[in-house]
Amino acid sequence: TEWWYYTGHLRDDSGGRWGFEFVVFRAERGNLPVSWASHVALTDETGGTFRYAQRSEIGRQASRSRPGGFDLAVTGADPTRAATTARPAWTMAGGDGTDRLSLAVGADESSAVGPFSLDLGLHASKPPALHDHDGWIDFGVAGGSYYYSRTSEAATGTLVVDGRTLHVDGSAWFDHQWGDFIAVGGGGWDWFAVNLDDGTDMTLSLVRDRDGGYPLVYGTVVDRNGTTRHLDRNAFTVEPTRRWRSPVTGTDYPAGWHVTVPGESLQLDLVPTVASQELDTRPTTGVVYWEGSQRVTATHHGRSVGGQAYVELTGYGPPSGG
């Protein structure tokens, strides 16, 4: 199992604010052909709307050779059909902290709000952060994975939405995780990626089992200068402060959090910029999940500081195939 995962926060030249998600998944299962899936999403924080799209492929070669980095392209074409309607690939490529993202969502594959396209150049300002000290996450009997993040990438490019072409700039967060694991997180997980205005970045992961326990809880703090510190399960607390129920799937999600990290003299409050940021990706990855941009207020070492974040919530929705 492997994924390349971007989330980010953008501002356009007319004052609008946007959140985005772009992920490519890769899975190998025994002797079956390699399968690929991709999800993209766009949150209009100013207009209060959310749109997303998804693609999947089986048996195609979505990755292209690029020494020292990655080069991915997902079209969603069906390899069993001799003729399909050509559409632009969703592409992500990167290496050494310089990345490029390009995607165009047509009206035939977008959620009800409508089509959009995004083209971004990204440049990391910090070295990669290796999680759990050395970049290896031990899932016990469920396996393990390598995992690193680039928590601070400057983003510049264009967004086309509702017939408007907008120049955008902002920041992005990149996660790359891969390993031999399937069963970990059978009950879902809550994942937080936080960027504070004082230059501190932090990620938290709370992984649940099917009985509601938390077999895996950890985090990573990244200082302004790129220095990382591991957080174990006793180093922080996360308390939901409000709820939101999806009018589409009926799923009840936490929709606000208070986070305390005593060892960092840090307290955070997170509130979604838009309540409805749910993705029904049962056609491609078999799950319904919520992933969305957040407004952040914090107290860090006694000083008030703002920030922004992304939160991913899985395991709350209908079961696979439901």
pLDDT digits (tens, 9 = 90+) for 214-249: 999 999 999 999 999 999 999 999 999 999 999 999
Question: Going by C-beta distance under 8 Å and a sequence separation of 6 or more, which residues neighbour residue 227?
Answer: none
pTM above 0.85, yes or no: yes
**Nearest CA to 161 among 203, 198, 115?**
115
Helix (H, G, I), strand (E, B) or coil at 15: coil
321's tokens: 């195939």
Mean of the pLDDT values across residues 72-89?
Answer: 72
What does pLDDT average to over the chain?
Answer: 93
Q: Give the percent of the chain with pLDDT over 70.
A: 95
The answer to whether 71 touches 63, Cβ cutoff 8 Å, is yes
Q: How far, in Å, are 65, 127, 177 from residue 149 at the CA level? A: 21, 9, 9
Residue 4 pLDDT exceeds 80? yes
Q: Which segment of 71-80, 92-101, 218-227, 274-283 scores lowest on mean pLDDT?
A: 71-80
- Tens digits of residue pLDDT in 10-68: 999 999 999 999 999 999 988 999 999 999 999 999 999 999 999 999 987 788 777 78
**Nearest CA to 63 among 193, 155, 171, 178?**
178
- Tens digits of residue pLDDT in 177-223: 999 976 555 789 999 999 999 999 999 999 998 888 999 999 999 99
**Nearest CA to 99 among 133, 76, 71, 137?**
71
Region of 198 on the Ramachandran plot (φ > 0 left; ψ -120 to 50 alpha; else beta): alpha
Helix (H, G, I), strand (E, B) or coil at 142: helix
Full DSSP string of 43-109: EETTTTEEEEEEEEEES---B---TTSEEEEE----TT-S-----PPEEEEEETTEEEEEEEE-TTT
pLDDT of residue 181: 78
Helix (H, G, I), strand (E, B) or coil at 16: coil
Q: Which pLDDT band, with edges at 50, 70 and 90, does 161 fall under?
A: very high
75's tokens: 């079209």
Q: How far, in Å, are 36, 41, 58, 319 from residue 284 at the CA level? A: 9, 14, 11, 14
Q: Which pLDDT band, with edges at 50, 70 and 90, does 321 fall under?
A: very low
pLDDT of residue 84: 53
Residue 85 pLDDT exceeds 70? no
**Nearest CA to 152 among 305, 9, 257, 22?**
9
The CB density around residue 231, as the number of other CB atoms within 10 Å, is: 21
Bridge partners of 292? 311
Q: Which pLDDT band, with edges at 50, 70 and 90, does 81 fall under?
A: low
